[in-house]
Amino acid sequence: MKPWQASFGAIGAVALMLISAGAWSAEVKIGAVLSVTGPASFLGDPEKRTLEIYVADINAKGGVNGDKLKLIVYDDGGDANNARTFATRLIEEDDVFAMVGGTTTGSTLAMIPAFEDAHIPFISLAGAIQIIDPVRKWVFKTPHTDRMACEKIFADLKRRNLTTVAMISGTDGFGKSMRDQCVAVAPKAGITIAHEESYGPRDSDMTPQLTNIKSTPGVQAVVNPGFGQGPAIVTRNYRQLGIALPLYQSHGVASKEFIELAGPAAEGVRLPAAALLVADKLDASDPQKPIVMNYARTYREKTSQAVSTFGGHAYDGLMILVQAMQRAGSADRAKVRDEIEKTKGYIGTGGIVNMTPADHMGLDLTAFRMLEIRNGDWALVSDGGS
């Protein structure tokens, strides 16, 4: 070909490379593998919406360190195998900078090895304590652990002098994990577990198991670790069988959908949950109040749906990551990871976060509030117990 064509081609190629390289470096990719559909959909759907709303919001205000954020969401349908596949895709094909996701304990545990090997910061949105205990260098989490839920429930039971309990747990990752934690912390909390039952996450009738619990002598209260539709059906069956004992749920049902599905049976059920659910009932001096009111209002305006604590966990995860990126000042994964670990005094929807190298969650028991369902809505149980 003619000489001028060759040099023109060379200049064009170099220009193209420079342009594409320039465009590429102005964007920071955040991956999110969430359970938008399936049995954990009322956790994953608010998480997805929250991430989308706030990534758009951050980009509209100029992005982070001058770079725009690009959110890549994959739906694992509540299946840990799918989650693992999507994690590999995020790492190898999409080359994400960091990951905020992992709706369920099962999917998070499946994805942890992938992100640890690839040295990518992973902020999980799942509940079980195994995610951060043992501490892994690149893995953090925002929701309260199942152990904290057990401790909070047992403290409330002890205060009401109800020390003999029965447990009915889901066989999903979170249900099993929380059941194990409750069994582990019960002796120290002064609680005796008199009887245990379990149910599959897709079961539609738990009356046989509840009948066994009802006929166990000495049981004073029932605790139900689990999430999804299972606890809603357990609650309905509980009232159907006329069991008058107090029923405690986990923070896995901290969403209006639970109240809708369980219907009038949900009256009087207690559960530990983030302050977000009772945002307007918080004391004016509560440091969390401005954050949770703001998030609740934004979420309600943008999605026309009631606020959910799971969306709140996603909000906290994103903000902790973004603030760490701002403190690090550059898109360097190791530096940002160090900054995430140094998060101190971050006031979020879940509580006030103070992380350390040994504690990659940073919440303590005060971050949990004990709620009771009254008249189809959440009510704050005061520290005095009513």
Partner 1 sequence: MAQFLQFALSGVTVGAIYGLVALGFTLIYNASEVVNFAQGEFVMLGGMTTVFLTLVGVPLAVAAPAAVIITVAAGLALHRFAIETARGATPVILIIITIGASIFLRGLAQVVFDKRFHSLPPLFGSDPIHLADASILPQSLVVLAGAGVVVILLGTFTGRTLFGKALIATASNRLAALLVGIDTRRIVGFSFAVSAAIGAVAGILITPITLTSYDVGTLLALKGFAAAMLGGIGSAVGAVVGGLLVGLMEAFAAGYVSSAYKDAVAFLVILAVLFARPQGLFGAAKPERV
Residue ranges binding partner 1 (CB under 8 A): 36-38, 41-42, 45, 171, 197-200, 202-209, 211-212, 215, 228-229, 232-233, 236, 239-242, 257, 260-261, 263-265
| CA 237 vs CA 193, 232, 244: distances in Å | 21, 9, 12
Phi and psi angles of residue 33, each rounded to the nearest 5 degrees, phi first: -100, 110
Pick between residue 170 and residue 348 the one whose CB is nearest to partner 1.
Answer: 170
* Shortest Cβ 318–partner 1 spacing (Å): 22
Distance separating alpha carbons of residues 196 and 326, to the nearest angstrom: 48
The CB-of-75 to partner 1 minimum distance in angstroms stands at 9
Smallest gap from residue 231 Cβ to partner 1 (A)? 11
Backbone angles phi, psi at 259, to 5 degrees: -65, -40
Residue 193's SS3 state is: strand
Q: What is the DSSP letter of 64?
A: B
**Minimum distance from CB of 105 to partner 1 (Å)?**
18
Q: Is the CB of residue 312 less than 8 Å from the CB of residue 274?
A: yes
Helix 289-303 crosses helix 309-328 at what angle (to 10 degrees)?
A: 110
Identity of the residue, 203 or 372, whose beta carbon is nearer to partner 1 in the bound complex:
203
* Beta strands at 139-141 and 122-124: parallel, antiparallel or unpaired: parallel
Min dist CB 101 to partner 1, Å, is: 17
Nearer CB in complex with partner 1: 25/240:
240
Nearer to partner 1, 215 or 375 (CB): 215
Specify the residue, 164 or 216, whose C-beta has the smaller distance to partner 1.
216
Q: How far is the CB of 37 from partner 1 (least distance, A)?
A: 4
**Beta carbon nearer to partner 1, 62 or 218:** 218
Nearest to 67 by CA among 331, 318, 334, 323: 331
What is the nearest approach in angstroms of partner 1 to the Cβ of residue 202? 6
To partner 1, the closest distance from the beta carbon of 193 in angstroms equals 16
Of the CA atoms within 13 Å of residue 7, those in its CB half-sphere come to 2
- Nearest approach in angstroms of CB 349 to partner 1 is 22
Distance CA 194, CA 174 (A): 21
How far is 304 from 313, CA to CA, in rounded Å? 19
The answer to whether 260 and 250 have CB atoms below 8 angstroms apart is no
Distance CA 176, CA 256 (A): 23
CB of 106 to partner 1, least distance (A): 17
Q: Which is nearer to partner 1, 229 or 349 (CB)?
A: 229
| DSSP-H helix ranges across 190-288 | 207-214, 229-240, 256-262
Nearer to partner 1, 199 or 299 (CB): 199
Whose CA is closest to 348, among 292, 273, 306, 280?
292
Nearer to partner 1, 163 or 303 (CB): 303
**Alpha-carbon gap, residue 298 to 311, rounded angstroms:** 12
Residue written as tokens 């690839």? 118
- Of 50, 51, 89, nearest to 70 by C-alpha is 51
Beta carbon nearer to partner 1, 190 or 263: 263
Helices (H) then strands (E): counts for the chain: 12, 14
